[in-house]
Amino acid sequence: MLLWVGSLLQRSVHAGARRILTCQDQILSSGVMNIHNGTQASIPVTVIGGYLGAGKTTCLNHLLGGDHGLRLAVLVNDFGAINVDAHLIAQQAADTIALMNGCVCCSIADDLGAALTAQVERIDPPEHVLIEASGVAEPAKIGRLAGNWPGCVMAGIVVLADAVAIRARSADKFVGRLVVRQLRDADLVAVNKVDLVNGAEQQATVDWIKTVAPHVCLMETRHGALPIEILGGDLATGKRHEGGPSAQHPLLSMVWIPESPVIPEVLHRVLSNLADIHRAKGIIPTAHGLRLIQWSSGKFACTVSPGSATGLVVIGPFSASRKAVLQRALAASSAVALSASTMAD
């Protein structure tokens, strides 16, 4: 395992406080690359942290193999732990895997600076770099190094928290302080493995994290499936905007898996009427085959998808208790539900 030593992540110059992510438009709509006067901007870097067993490697595998169109470079400590499907690999060397989707996975090999320089100097540099922090590292220290490295700019810190074990880990006399520091380092905490706890335990964990790290934005995930959209903005410099998520209702995500074919036109109307869903994306079944659905800022797109059905990932400032209501509302867009409603009339 690799520990990086450095001072705390550089704070905002405004009142010495880190500006936190509170605006959905900021995280989902802003681009990850900026071109100015014909020159490429610094590459945004996101640190993925969390204590041992939180799901970091699973999360990185998900991001690496995703059909998202974003060229990612993932820098890892344990190169052998990355499990990429063979049919996705375009080229493989001792310390690098290049994928068909344009992403690459590289070993840090005891020198994070050299690994970052290698990405900056590539002929076709990545659009975003992800750094896997070891389970016992402090993400802010890695972020300070990466954010000050030539050609790189710090985008933010995402920390995964095991919904099953995080509170017990925080009480451990040997690692408890480290676990809490990791959470407080974060701009975004992804409460992972929520499918392994009941609703009351899930809410208790979310409430506890809000107490120990009140500044962070929260998402809930299963199997480390972090939405790629979180890399579209600047986590570390998010600003509060009117209509953005509040401290009471930070960003959450959920996955809706239709039980029957969906009518896209009806789904469009449903999403238009749900003010607390700001972004939706996924592959769903319809009567005419699989369709990729994308919804953001009132814009709806439905295109043919060659992939497999994944369900619809929805993101917004809704509360955990509201999820069941949203699930039922989305389910109303299925052909079966519409047929039942027509018969009832």
Does residue 259 share a domain with residue 160?
no
Report which residue type is found at 112.
L
- Stated as kind and residue range, the H or E segment containing 325 is helix 323-331
Report which residue type is found at 277.
I
CATH code of residue 40: 3.40.50.300
- Stated as kind and residue range, the H or E segment containing 180 is helix 176-185
- Could you report the per-residue pLDDT of 137-192, keeping only the tens digit for each? 999 999 999 999 999 998 889 999 999 999 999 999 889 999 999 999 998 899 99
Query: Residue 335 sits in which domain range?
Result: 252-344
Dihedrals φ, ψ of 13, to 5°? -75, -15
Q: Which residue has the higher pLDDT, 76 or 239?
A: 76
Domain limit, last residue, from 237, 261, 285:
237
DSSP state of 35: E
Domain limit, last residue, from 202, 237, 272:
237
**Domain total for the chain?**
2
**Looking at residue 1, what is its pLDDT?**
32
Q: Where are the alpha helices (DSSP H) in 148-281?
A: 166-170, 176-185, 199-212, 264-272
State the average pLDDT over residues 185-205: 91
- Is 3 inside a domain boundary? no
Structure tokens belonging to residue 206: 């979310």
Please check whether residue 195 is in contact with residue 163, taking contact to mean a CB–CB distance below 8 angstroms. Answer: no
- Could you report the per-residue pLDDT of 274-305, keeping only the tens digit for each? 887 877 888 889 999 999 888 876 789 899 88
- Is 203 inside a domain boundary? yes
CATH code of residue 301: 3.30.1220.10
- Is 124 inside a domain boundary? yes
- Is 13 inside a domain boundary? no
**Looking at residue 91, what is its pLDDT?**
77
Domain limit, last residue, from 209, 237, 265:
237
- Could you report the per-residue pLDDT of 53-105, keeping only the tens digit for each? 899 988 988 888 877 778 899 998 765 566 666 666 777 777 788 888 788 88
